[in-house]
Structure 1
Amino acid sequence: MALACFFWLLLATIYDFRERRVPNWLVLSGALVALAALALRVQPFGIGWSEAGIGAAGGFCFLLCFYAFGLMGAGDVKFTGVLGLWFGLSALIPIWVIASLMAGAHSLLWLALKRWPFFPRLALMLAGPSRTPESGAPTLRPRIIPYAAYLALAAAAWMVWGRQS
């Protein structure tokens, strides 16, 4: 089951870096596999139903505040809830910290390259795909930072190094 989680994290990372969104089918598939692992008692990270539920609720509710202020996409919020279902709240906290540091570095690098365009292709890559909504109206906030991708990378790092401590 750890391999299934790792594959799901990999898919989320690739999708979010390329599209700057996390589709519902990807979030739902991660949740269903996590619930199946709990039900079959093959949860790879040693947590039970209560810790998984607290992790899912905690992850979802914490990032919901950022979504309410327009600072984060809904896919990031749902993805974090499913991460909490997989890893529990105690592992989700260091995953948040690491992901936030990576997202902050992404943002600072993008701002620096935007101001001093020494590497314009890198700045464009960091900004993500340019999109115009179907309505033709400009979007209020472009999705520059693929936060779910950074959460997934931090979770994969925790899978490798965090469980050993």
Structure 2
Amino acid sequence: MRFEAPFLLWLLFAVVYDFRQRRIPNWLVLAGALGALIALAFGAAPFGHGWTSALLGAAVGFGFLLVFHLLGLMGAGDVKYAGALGLWVGLAALAPIWIISSVLAAAHGLLWLALQRWPLSPRLALFLFGQPISRDGQTPTRRTRFIPYAAYLSVAAAIWMVWGRQSL
């Protein structure tokens, strides 16, 4: 038996929380890391990997995204979340998950740019970006994280969990 249901539940919490709050709280990261460690202890990781792959996945997931955080391009919660996600998925699944989530985040960013120029729907803008776009098309003065990258990492992990198994 694999711990797929707890993993998917954790992903769902991250998606909802990141889209609504535009942040990933430490308790959610710690809960995910603890869940991954428990799954590994029982030999029931959802992706069927072992301790070495999980620990490498956590280190690479955290370390790679830390560079983007240090450049000011990503929030610290996303970085910590990527480390916990690495524990769940292992090193081998990180690259396809990053590619999928980056494509989703890029689409989000392009949609944000389009809605800045042509505000089609204020409700859509509020859902996607966490704040309404001003009528004059100017971005708000305070800097916000408008791309919920942890949510896209979660969606990508769920996609890879289904699609990646079928392609192997």
Normalised to the residue count of structure 2, the TM-score between the two structures is 0.89
- Equivalent residue for 1:135? none
Q: Residues 56-95 of structure 1 correspond to what in structure 2 (within 5 A)?
A: 56-95=58-97
Is contact 1:114-1:123 (8 Å) kept? no
* 1:162 corresponds to which of 158, 161, 164: 164
1:97 to 96, 99, 114: 99
Structure 1 stretches of 4+ moved >6 Å: none
TM-score by length of 1: 0.91
Supply the RMSD in Å over aligned alpha carbons: 1.5
Percent identity of the aligned residues? 65
- Counterpart of 1:43 (choices 45, 53, 58) is 45
Q: Deviations over 1:67-95 (max 9, x none)?
A: 00110001100111111111111101100
Contact 1:99 1:154 in 2 (8 A): yes
Q: Which amino acid aligns with 1:97?
A: I
Letter in 2 for 1:4: P
CA separation in 2, counterparts of 1:118 and 1:37?
45
Return the offset for 1:140.
Answer: 5.5
Give the gaps of 5 or more residues in structure 1: 131-137
Matches within 5 A, 1:109-120: 109-120=111-122
User: 1:125, CA displacement in angstroms?
Assistant: 2.4
- 2: distance between equivalents of 1:89 and 1:46? 12
Q: Shift of the alpha carbon at 1:121?
A: 2.5
Distance 1:139 1:118 in 2: 22
- Residue 17 of structure 1 and its aligned partner are, at CA, apart by 0.5
Q: How does 1:6-25 map to 2 (within 5 A)?
A: 6-25=8-27
Q: Which residue of 2 aligns with 1:27?
A: 29
Q: 2:54 aligns with which of 48, 52, 55?
A: 52
2:128 equivalent in structure 1: 126
* Count of residue correspondences: 158
| Structure 2: runs of 5 or more not aligned | 133-139
1:159 deviation in Å? 1.1
| Corresponding position: 1:107 with 2:109 | yes
Of 155-164 and 52-61, more deviation after overlay is shown by 155-164
The one-letter amino acid of 1:144's match is F
Q: In 1, Cα distance between the equivalents of 2:125 and 2:117?
A: 10
